[in-house]
Amino acid sequence: MSSPEEQAFRLLTEYSNGFMVSQVLFAACELGVFDLLAEAPEPLGAAAVAARLGTSSHGTELLLDTCVSLKLLQVETKTGKALYQNTELSSTYLVRASPKCQGNMLRYLARTTYLCWGHLTQAVRDGRNQYLEAFGVPSDQLFSAIYRSEDERLLFMRGLQDVWSVSGRPVLGAFDLSPFPLICDVGGDFFKDPLPEADLYLLARVLHDWTDERCSRLLARIRRACKPGGGVLVIESLLAADGRGPLTAQLYSLNMLVQTEGRERTPAQYRALLAAAGFRHVQCRRTGGLYDAILATR
């Protein structure tokens, strides 16, 4: 048994090294390690992986063995030779042929989100996103809100779809949606474009990108489009009532600070926004998953 002081140091070291773990995962995805191993008819040695990927033998071996320690790969030794293959985790979530592949989100996190997080200290000082600092582009000159290019916008959309393919179902089961036969998933330029007629408007991972003021404007537009008995289903990661958890929601709120104008919110904060927009009945449901649901009707 280690002393409490030693345990604390171990925890500290784990946190300090967290970014290295993210980068191992990002690099293995970017290089196509998991796809190569999934498509190979049998487990491959490090030299074969390096040859197929066009990477250095030393770097590849280190990366593969680190992936083994992270349970992203498994290794078996046959006649003195290490052979690598995917684990259940990587086969399910990291191989492009899998319907649950998170590859687009991981590439987006690696190429965009990670760079903004490099400026977290300054974001906390300033209280605003770090696009100018991370990319040298003022955020009002970005291609549509937060994207540097059309390619980046597409990667982000595909990334959100990746997460939805795993975490979407539980949220849609949180409420009985049978009173709402026609559902509109609100996206695109929703501050300007006319809203189509619907019984229920879905706002999934939208409000967390925006200031209270912009959320109020959007909710008021939806309230005006809503028929009596109609409503809005807000899908977000809810913060605890006191804002002090869960950790994932807190990290996402910091993510909104470094990348957007928004924040994650508590149930009371969503209630206030929805009530101010004229919605009468507001119900919050935690799912225990990545996303929670708030149903409001007029």
Shortest CB 182 distance to ligand ASE, Å: 25
Q: Which of residues 249-278 bind ligand ASE (CB under 6 A)?
A: 252, 255, 259-260
CA 164 vs. chain centroid, Å, equals 9
Shortest CB 246 distance to ligand ASE, Å: 13
113 binds ligand ASE (CB under 6 A): yes
Q: Which of 65, 133, 152, 209 binds ligand ASE (CB under 6 A)?
A: 209
286 binds ligand ASE (CB under 6 A): no
Binding mask of the shown chain, residues 215 to 254, with x at each position contacting ligand ASE by CB under 6 A: -------------------------------------x--
Shortest CB 97 distance to ligand ASE, Å: 22
Catalogue the long-range contacts made by 30-35 (C-beta closer than 8 Å, 24 or more residues apart).
30/107, 30/110, 31/55, 31/63, 33/63, 33/64, 33/67, 33/73, 34/72, 34/86, 34/90, 34/94, 34/95, 35/95, 35/96, 35/97
Shortest CB 159 distance to ligand ASE, Å: 7
Pairing of strands 81-86, 73-78: antiparallel
Shortest CB 187 distance to ligand ASE, Å: 11
Binding mask of the shown chain, residues 43 to 82, with x at each position contacting ligand ASE by CB under 6 A: ----------------------------------------
- Which two tokens mark 75? 């290794």
Radius of gyration for the alpha carbons in the chain, expressed in angstroms and rounded:
22
Binding region for ligand ASE (CB under 6 A) out of 80-88, 187-195, 202-210, 278-286: 202-210
Nearer to ligand ASE, 74 or 253 (CB): 253
Binding region for ligand ASE (CB under 6 A) out of 21-29, 135-143, 205-213, 215-223: 205-213
- Asked if 208 is an active-site residue, the reply is yes
Nearer to ligand ASE, 119 or 208 (CB): 208
Q: Which of 205, 214, 285, 286 binds ligand ASE (CB under 6 A)?
A: 205
290 binds ligand ASE (CB under 6 A): yes
Binding site residues, ligand ASE, CB under 6 A: 113, 163, 205, 208-209, 252, 255, 259-260, 290
Q: What is the set of active-site residues? A: 208
